[in-house]
Chain A
Amino acid sequence: MNCRSEVLEVSVEGRQVDEAMLALLHTILLHRSTGKFHYKKEGTYSIGTVGTLDVDCDFIDFTFVRVSSDELDRVIRKAVAEFKDGLGNSGNDGMGQISLEFYQKKKSRWPFSDECIPWEVWSIKVNVVNLANEQERQICREKVGEKLGEKVINIVEVINRHEYLPKMPTQSEVDNVFDTSLKDVQPYLYKITFQITDSMGTSVSTTMRRLIKDTLAL
């Protein structure tokens, strides 16, 4: 409830899935990353630089910009590849959703694991289509490029809105807001999840929690 959620929908051919996903995820992450923080002394820090890189797609007429961090790229490629495999393996007619969730961590005491509180979720719904001939593929190539361009503008519009972002943390709390594991760039903490079918049920855990919480009001 207490987080923004944005939904993007694309409809692509099977081989375009990973490029399209990469384009969108990287675009979002580009705007949700900063340079590394270098702490000097108390309360002051300098922010490192972030390089950008143009990426041309093979199967789509499209070029996108991403943070020039190979590590980040590797992580995202891995997630997207899994997603694509999942799509391919499912007997489903190629519907799936990948979501990029930005969250903050809240440290809790020993027996409990840290709590992740999302503040922004981007869900990209993918619809894979099958095309009959080469001519259609050619048209699709252009159309998907155009669509992705629109999506990117969409994303930028959303990000430009003056809305909630986590506060800049102090040095001790930087891990609760930013992902500091990468060497060259520091995105907000994020999580990529995907699901292939669109079955949404009450997860067992929430039910259990409710069950424990208010039981027979005796």
Chain B
Amino acid sequence: MAHFDTEYQRLEASYSDSPPGEENLLVHVPEGSKLHAGHFYEKPQEKTITCPIFFRQLVFVVAFTVFLVNCVDYDILFANKFVNHTDSSKVTLPDAILPVDVCSARIRHNVFVIFIILISGVFWLHRLVKFMYNICCYWEIRSFFINALKVSMADLPYFTWQEVQARIVEIQKEHQICIHKKELTELDIYHRILRFKNYMVAMVNKSLLPVRFHLPLLGDTVFYTRGLKYNFELIFFWGPGSLFENEWSLKAEYKRGGNRLELADRLSSRILWIGIANLLLCPVILIWQILYAFFSHMEVIKREPGSLGARCWSLYGRFYLRHFNELDHELMSRLSKGYKASSKYMNCFMSPLLTVVAKNVAFFAGSILAVLIALTIYDEDVLAVEHVLSSITLLGVGITVCRSFIPDKHMVFCPEQLLKVILAHIHYMPDHWQGNAHRYETRDEFAQLFQYKAGFILEELLSPVITPFILIFCLRRKSLEIIDFFRNFTVDVVGVGDTCSFAQMDVRQHGHPAWMSAGKTEASIYQQAEDGKTELSLMHFAITNPHWQPPRESTHFISQLKEKVHRETSGGQQGVLTDHPVFTTTHSQSDSEPHSLIANLLMGPPSLSSLHLGRDGSIHPVSVGASEGASALRSLSPMSSSINLRGSYPSARLPQPDQPALAASRAMTGSGTDARTISSGSSVWEGQLTSMVLSEYASTEMSIHAVYMHEMHKQQSQDEMSRHTWYRQESDESSESVNEDLESTRNFPRSNTFPCTTTPHQEGAAHHSSRQQRRHGGTADFVPGSSRVQRTPRVPMGGWSEDARTGRHHDTVPEEGSEDELPPRIHKLHF
């Protein structure tokens, strides 16, 4: 038993939310030794390693439960019955355990227990087969690494994903793993690894999946659990009769628009069946979930009850915040960096009443506990009194829980700033959060992304019960939309297979005009990715993979954006602040601007930075300029040394080497060169740290860009709003619209990009609301997939598919209009 306990703790440790160490960077290993099949998977080796641990856990959980239920004589344990010992009166543990024959008889007569054992046996076998399979995979990966990539297993822990990827690109030139093209790009590799994840991210982005619900009492809620996710994947990607033919291609009939209604019918009946299967299996899964949750969390809860009050990123949040083409470890490191700031932000919203109550409860509980402990110290026999030990334990737990409701006395809160810092890490947030960071609405919505761990466990427990109903009643209704989604947004990339077209990150096809791609994008509303996902993902991917050559429009987009950022930094240096609208607003609204953050990112803690500046200055003459710029920026922002920021930014030490990079790139402004490539050259003196530091640069740079892009977006939408206000004023001379801008902020405007079920309040943003209406109108058109009206021929082919076709890029899935004509063509052949 002791043995099991230790194993158990080890796995638990990997669940905690601590920021990942270096080893997480190396977890992603492509399964590639199928040199020909050539599809890469992320293959966490951890999985293979933790598998046997899991086996033993499973066996242990089942065996131990059965044992506890059947083989323990609780009467003896609770001392309701006396044991007659000859030598002493002490009750020992073995006394409480029933003899083997009694025990086995009890088990044999208990049908329910046998049922459980059977089910877990099947489950266990299944895991065993899977484990075997994983071992084989692992073996293949291993040989691929050793033979093809020339990385020995001993060295592997020191490799980052970037290096592994570089090697894969390298060997493509030599071995031609992918036979369709001479060179493999980074994007190809990412596409293969993240094919289905990209689809899921896009579906969450376009709010296609039914994960948001409006409940009568709870208001807007998000319900997205692992079980639900598993079912979605089963339905879309790999289950029997799924939309995908194999791991890389969508079935041909789904690419054709012709019989979409029939396909939707088929999909909805399939969902129904899977939902029913879920319903039937529900008791089994439920029992398993409960047992598993009990054994895996009970110990932690006992040890540190505060962990229930801790938060974690919800599964929905992970999909909402994920970029297209972002690997797990990249996402996790980003989110973990934002963790501290986020929990601090959530702590801003302690209700004073609750604090007072908690303080009182803690006081009373504390006094009783103190007395009990004092008595125990005085005489141990106090412990033997019934329920003293349990009340001591309970009081302790109660005090810990109360304490988590009492905010730290020395904390200064500034929600706006905190939200900025969070944004710098999580990169996405709905528009209406900006300027509303102090509101409970914002907090509640953020809580959907960043939920209590207790909530997470509870959701997981409820999941088996709720999932079938979501499948049957919510997902089924969307079947036509889903069919349309997969048809309209699937691109066949040569050598990669069918991928989600959003994941191509083509600004032209999926850009959103409100996110700086105005003029470049040709996307219809249906095609636009929400929340600037395309633009931010593009930026993120270009920054993490500096060698990647994006398509032309995207290159243009990136270089333009970078130029802008650089221009502004130099603008700040010269003190010409009124040049750019952002700077003027910086002054007008002064407190919540990102420049303080940027400056902070660049500077790091003053003491350290001055030291490093000296060092840099001696090596790179240019960096003097950088320091000037940075200090100018810094002087611009009095908030830069705020406690919150620095406290919540544990890696502030690392970003500072960005200064030479910035300087150098500023020297080359306009060339669009990636700052990081230069800095990589200049940071040779950093020795082996380069790669690590590089990825750190990348994340910092991305943070800056994310904040900047959100700022620009806000700017743009405000411009639009004020322009509109002006027009309105002119047209109907209403006096109340003068301060429309202000008023709409006061009304807590919700952007339509955040998938809310409520309608937007703002009337000023006609652009937005009209878009929303159009969208809803369109949705209403094709939601009732099975209704009779749908079948009339003049109904559109799904959401804006007409626009979709005109905006189609040449490499999209060939619209099957041509293929539908095939049969006649064949008939023409014979004469």
Give the interface segment out of A2-10, A52-60, A69-77, A188-196: A2-10
Q: Cβ of B242 and Cβ of A202 under 8 Å apart?
A: yes
B378 interfacial by beta-carbon distance below 8 Å: no
Q: Cβ of B496 and Cβ of A119 under 8 Å apart?
A: no
- Which residues of B sit under 8 angstroms from A112, Cβ to Cβ? 136
- Which residues of B sit under 8 angstroms from A202, Cβ to Cβ? 240-242, 244-246, 251
- Which residues of A sit under 8 angstroms from B230, Cβ to Cβ? 216-217
Q: A11 is contacted by which of B34, B244, B251, B827 (Cβ under 8 Å)?
A: B827
Within the assembled complex, what's the spacing in Å between the Cα atoms of A213 and B188?
23
- Which residues of B sit under 8 angstroms from A11, Cβ to Cβ? 826-827, 829-830
Within the assembled complex, what's the spacing in Å between the Cα atoms of A129 and B248?
35
A117 interfacial by beta-carbon distance below 8 Å: yes
Q: B36 is contacted by which of A2, A129, A139, A204 (Cβ under 8 Å)?
A: A2
- Binary CB contact string for chain A from 176 to 211 against chain B (1 if under 8 A, 0 otherwise): 000000000000000000000000111010110011
Q: Cβ of A4 and Cβ of B240 under 8 Å apart?
A: no
Range of interface residues on chain A?
Answer: 35 or more
- Do A129 and B130 contact each other (CB < 8 Å), given the known contacts A1-B496, A115-B34? no
Question: Which A residue sits closest to B289, measured CB to CB?
Answer: A218
Docked complex: B227-254 residues within 8 A CB-CB of A: 227, 229-230, 233, 238-242, 244-249, 251-252
Q: Cβ of A201 and Cβ of B130 under 8 Å apart?
A: no
Docked complex: B32-49 residues within 8 A CB-CB of A: 34-39
- Binary CB contact string for chain B from 472 to 503 against chain A (1 if under 8 A, 0 otherwise): 00000000000000000000000111000000
Question: Which B residue sits closest to A198, measured CB to CB?
Answer: B252
- Do A200 and B248 contact each other (CB < 8 Å), given the known contacts A1-B497, A216-B230? no
- Which residues of A sit under 8 angstroms from B34, Cβ to Cβ? 106, 115, 117
Q: Cβ of A215 and Cβ of B240 under 8 Å apart?
A: no
B831 interfacial by beta-carbon distance below 8 Å: yes
- Binary CB contact string for chain A from 90 to 115 against chain B (1 if under 8 A, 0 otherwise): 00000000000000101000001001
Within the assembled complex, what's the spacing in Å between the Cα atoms of A218 and B136?
21
Q: Chain B: interface secondary structure?
A: loop
Within the assembled complex, what's the spacing in Å between the Cα atoms of A163 and B181?
9
- Which residues of B sit under 8 angstroms from A206, Cβ to Cβ? 246-247
B412 interfacial by beta-carbon distance below 8 Å: no
- Which residues of B sit under 8 angstroms from A211, Cβ to Cβ? 238
A33 interfacial by beta-carbon distance below 8 Å: no
CB of B144, distance to nearest CB on chain A (Å): 12
Q: Cβ of B245 and Cβ of A139 under 8 Å apart?
A: no
- Which residues of A sit under 8 angstroms from B252, Cβ to Cβ? 200
Q: Cβ of B292 and Cβ of A200 under 8 Å apart?
A: no
Range of interface residues on chain B?
Answer: 35 or more
A147 interfacial by beta-carbon distance below 8 Å: yes
Within the assembled complex, what's the spacing in Å between the Cα atoms of A81 and B740?
80
B150 interfacial by beta-carbon distance below 8 Å: no
B374 interfacial by beta-carbon distance below 8 Å: no
Q: Cβ of B830 and Cβ of A2 under 8 Å apart?
A: no
CB of A104, distance to nearest CB on chain B (Å): 6
Q: Cβ of B39 and Cβ of A2 under 8 Å apart?
A: yes
Docked complex: A135-157 residues within 8 A CB-CB of B: 136, 139-140, 143, 147
- Which residues of A sit under 8 angstroms from B126, Cβ to Cβ? 212, 215
Q: B292 is contacted by which of A119, A136, A210, A218 (Cβ under 8 Å)?
A: A218
- Which residues of A sit under 8 angstroms from B36, Cβ to Cβ? 2-3, 104, 106, 117-119
Within the assembled complex, what's the spacing in Å between the Cα atoms of A214 and B136?
14
B295 interfacial by beta-carbon distance below 8 Å: no
Q: Cβ of B292 and Cβ of A140 under 8 Å apart?
A: no
B129 interfacial by beta-carbon distance below 8 Å: yes
Q: Cβ of B248 and Cβ of A3 under 8 Å apart?
A: no
Within the assembled complex, what's the spacing in Å between the Cα atoms of A214 and B38?
19
Among A1, A13, A117, A213, max chain B CB count under 10 A is at A1
Q: B831 is contacted by which of A119, A136, A164, A212 (Cβ under 8 Å)?
A: A136
Within the assembled complex, what's the spacing in Å between the Cα atoms of A215 and B231?
10
Within the assembled complex, what's the spacing in Å between the Cα atoms of A11 and B830?
6
Q: A2 is contacted by which of B178, B822, B831 (Cβ under 8 Å)?
A: B178
- Binary CB contact string for chain B from 730 to 761 against chain A (1 if under 8 A, 0 otherwise): 00000000000000000000000000000000
Within the assembled complex, what's the spacing in Å between the Cα atoms of A216 and B120?
13
A127 interfacial by beta-carbon distance below 8 Å: yes
- Which residues of B sit under 8 angstroms from A127, Cβ to Cβ? 826-827, 829-830
CB of A9, distance to nearest CB on chain B (Å): 6
- Which residues of A sit under 8 angstroms from B227, Cβ to Cβ? 216
- Do A215 and B249 contact each other (CB < 8 Å), given the known contacts A11-B829, A127-B826? no
Q: Cβ of B130 and Cβ of A215 under 8 Å apart?
A: yes
- Do A1 and B39 contact each other (CB < 8 Å), given the known contacts A127-B826, A147-B829, A206-B246? yes
Within the assembled complex, what's the spacing in Å between the Cα atoms of A12 and B127?
52
Q: Cβ of A140 and Cβ of B831 under 8 Å apart?
A: yes
- Do A200 and B831 contact each other (CB < 8 Å), given the known contacts A104-B36, A207-B239, A217-B230? no
Q: Chain A: interface secondary structure?
A: mixed
Q: Cβ of A4 and Cβ of B130 under 8 Å apart?
A: no
CB of B509, distance to nearest CB on chain A (Å): 22
Question: Which A residue sits closest to B177, measured CB to CB?
Answer: A2
- Do A117 and B239 contact each other (CB < 8 Å), given the known contacts A129-B830, A212-B130, A213-B133? no
CB of A165, distance to nearest CB on chain B (Å): 9
Question: Which A residue sits closest to B134, measured CB to CB?
Answer: A213
CB of A118, distance to nearest CB on chain B (Å): 8
- Which residues of A sit under 8 angstroms from B177, Cβ to Cβ? 2
B179 interfacial by beta-carbon distance below 8 Å: yes
Within the assembled complex, what's the spacing in Å between the Cα atoms of A212 and B133?
8
Question: Which B residue sits closest to A125, measured CB to CB?
Answer: B826
Docked complex: B350-379 residues within 8 A CB-CB of A: none
- Which residues of B sit under 8 angstroms from A147, Cβ to Cβ? 829
- Which residues of B sit under 8 angstroms from A201, Cβ to Cβ? 241
Question: Which B residue sits closest to A116, measured CB to CB?
Answer: B36
Q: A143 is contacted by which of B179, B240, B830 (Cβ under 8 Å)?
A: B830
- Do A217 and B831 contact each other (CB < 8 Å), given the known contacts A163-B179, A207-B239, A207-B240? no
Within the assembled complex, what's the spacing in Å between the Cα atoms of A2 and B675?
36
- Which residues of B sit under 8 angstroms from A9, Cβ to Cβ? 822, 826, 829
- Binary CB contact string for chain B from 13 to 46 against chain A (1 if under 8 A, 0 otherwise): 0000000000000000000001111110000000
CB of A83, distance to nearest CB on chain B (Å): 18
B180 interfacial by beta-carbon distance below 8 Å: yes
Q: Cβ of A212 and Cβ of B179 under 8 Å apart?
A: no
- Which residues of A sit under 8 angstroms from B178, Cβ to Cβ? 2
Within the assembled complex, what's the spacing in Å between the Cα atoms of A10 and B829?
8
- Which residues of A sit under 8 angstroms from B772, Cβ to Cβ? none
- Which residues of A sit under 8 angstroms from B496, Cβ to Cβ? 1
Q: Cβ of A4 and Cβ of B245 under 8 Å apart?
A: no
CB of A20, distance to nearest CB on chain B (Å): 12
- Which residues of B sit under 8 angstroms from A3, Cβ to Cβ? 36, 179
Question: Which B residue sits closest to A130, measured CB to CB?
Answer: B830
- Do A143 and B831 contact each other (CB < 8 Å), given the known contacts A1-B497, A115-B34? yes
B176 interfacial by beta-carbon distance below 8 Å: yes
Within the assembled complex, what's the spacing in Å between the Cα atoms of A3 and B252?
17
- Do A2 and B38 contact each other (CB < 8 Å), given the known contacts A127-B826, A207-B238, A213-B130? yes
B226 interfacial by beta-carbon distance below 8 Å: yes
Within the assembled complex, what's the spacing in Å between the Cα atoms of A206 and B37?
14
Question: Which A residue sits closest to B179, measured CB to CB?
Answer: A164
Within the assembled complex, what's the spacing in Å between the Cα atoms of A131 and B830?
9
- Binary CB contact string for chain B from 493 to 517 against chain A (1 if under 8 A, 0 otherwise): 0011100000000000000000000
| Residues of A that sit less than 8 Å from B by CB | 1-4, 9-13, 104, 106, 112, 115, 117-119, 127, 129, 131, 136, 139-140, 143, 147, 163-164, 200-202, 204, 206-207, 210-218
Instruction: Pick the 8 closest A-B CB pairs, nearest first.
Output: A164-B179, A117-B36, A11-B829, A210-B238, A1-B248, A1-B497, A129-B830, A2-B38
Q: Give 13 A-B pairs besides A202-B251, A206-B247 with Cβ atoms closer than 8 angstroms.
A: A1-B246, A2-B39, A2-B177, A3-B36, A9-B826, A13-B830, A106-B36, A115-B34, A127-B829, A139-B831, A164-B179, A202-B242, A202-B245
16 residue pairs of the A-B complex, CB under 8 angstroms, read: A1-B247, A1-B496, A9-B829, A106-B34, A106-B36, A117-B36, A117-B37, A131-B830, A140-B830, A143-B831, A164-B176, A202-B240, A211-B238, A212-B133, A215-B127, A216-B227
